[in-house]
Amino acid sequence: MPNTSMLRGWTAKESPFHAGELAVQDRLGVRERIDAIARKAGIRDYMPDQHCQFFAERPFLLIGAADAAGQPWPTVLAGQPGFITTPDERTLHVAATIPPHSPLHGQLRAGSFVGLLGIQFTTGRRNRVNGAITAIDDNSLTMAVRQSFGNCRKYIQAREPSPIKDKAPDSIRRLPDTDRLSKDDQGLLSRADTFFIASAYFSEQDQTAQGADVSHRGGRPGFIRIDDDQTLTFPDFTGNFLFNTIGNLVRNPRAGLLFIDFDSSDLLYLAGDAHIIWDGPEVSAFTGAQRLIQFHLHTVRRIANALPIHWSPVRYSEQLTGTGSWQESAGAL
């Protein structure tokens, strides 16, 4: 494995961040510091060797992209380790197809912007790759790498994945799409400690700044508040200060969420609009929250028994000791 101190960082004159990300960094007074970190080694326009190896070892991959109507969605692909390869440092190939149950099925084509997230729950390691699809068919997709970077290990719960071989396709069942959370959906959210959020940024003025992103969010069970059957609120904790997701949302509030039921392997997809609550008594009362995100959903899709993966019992991240839950927050108000 190469010495990361010898790796080249961001060398382009323009910033690696788009206008939305820069606006949030300015608002919070971290722009100059984060720009220096990103240029030194934080963000690259290629995949270093250790990132290539990391993706090659993954049994699943998160993808974030927008559908034909511009709605961002996260989705997950599963395969035997080795189904993700990197022919060269600026090309990533995935030997898998978007599953029929995914909202992104049939929605991607050459030129579509995508964000990828490789995550290893047991170690907390996660790497992201953003770029555009150069080729896609019924069996695979290939993307050109525009940005490659790692994220910190905060709030990642440890679970060991074990692939289920020869899972019968007819065991997967798609429930009818709806615009409201069912009681079962609300139960999954109330005990969730992990989810993924997809967002996207589009600019007519700067075509090079456009892109899609998918990010991990974690917290203690109870860190998602169900306000009603169409509204959720969840905290945004201290992270790496890149503000990829928040920066997208301040310019384009449309977002998609993906929850995995680690007991049943069900998938729950949600689409809607996100509103950022920057400060106030609710933010202050939630331990560890820097801001809150209120999510107003308009589409719910649940897929029963979707993932061909069995998960070990959870071990919670030690960083969760510095975070709260909505039960504690309600008591503080």
Residue 260 falls inside a structural domain: yes
CA distance 131 to 113: 6
CA 4 to chain centre: 25
Q: Under a CB-based contact definition with an 8 Å cutoff, are residues 100 and 144 in contact?
A: no
Residue 1 falls inside a structural domain: no
**H or E element that contains 285:** helix 281-285
Residue 7 falls inside a structural domain: no
- pLDDT, mean of residues 204-215: 79
Question: CA angle 200-192-230, nearest 5°?
Answer: 60
Residue 8 falls inside a structural domain: no
Where does 16-117 have alpha helices with state H? Answer: 19-27, 31-37, 49-56
Residue 291 falls inside a structural domain: yes
Residue 2 falls inside a structural domain: no
φ, ψ for residue 120 (rounded to 5)? -115, 100
pTM of the model: 0.95
pLDDT in tens, 248-299: 999 999 999 999 999 999 999 999 999 999 999 999 999 999 999 999 999 9
User: Is 56 in a helix, a strand, or coil?
Assistant: helix
CA distance 109 to 154: 34
The first and second tokens of residue 8, run together, are 């080249």
φ, ψ for residue 259 (rounded to 5)? -115, 135
The first and second tokens of residue 104, run together, are 């992104």
CA 271 to chain centre: 14
Least Cα distance to 76 among 259, 211, 200 occurs for 259
Residue 5 falls inside a structural domain: no
- Number of domains the chain is built from: 1
Least Cα distance to 229 among 162, 163, 296 occurs for 296
Q: Within 13 A of 150's CA, how many CA atoms are on the CB side?
A: 19
pLDDT in tens, 210-244: 899 999 999 999 999 999 999 999 999 998 899 99
The first and second tokens of residue 213, run together, are 């992103």
Contacts for 13 with CB less than 8 Å, ≥ 6 apart: none
- pLDDT, mean of residues 65-87: 96
CA distance 144 to 46: 9
When pLDDT is cut at 50, 70 and 90, the band that residue 2 belongs to is very low
CATH of the domain at 245: 2.30.110.10
Residue 184 belongs to domain spanning? 13-332
Residue 211 falls inside a structural domain: yes
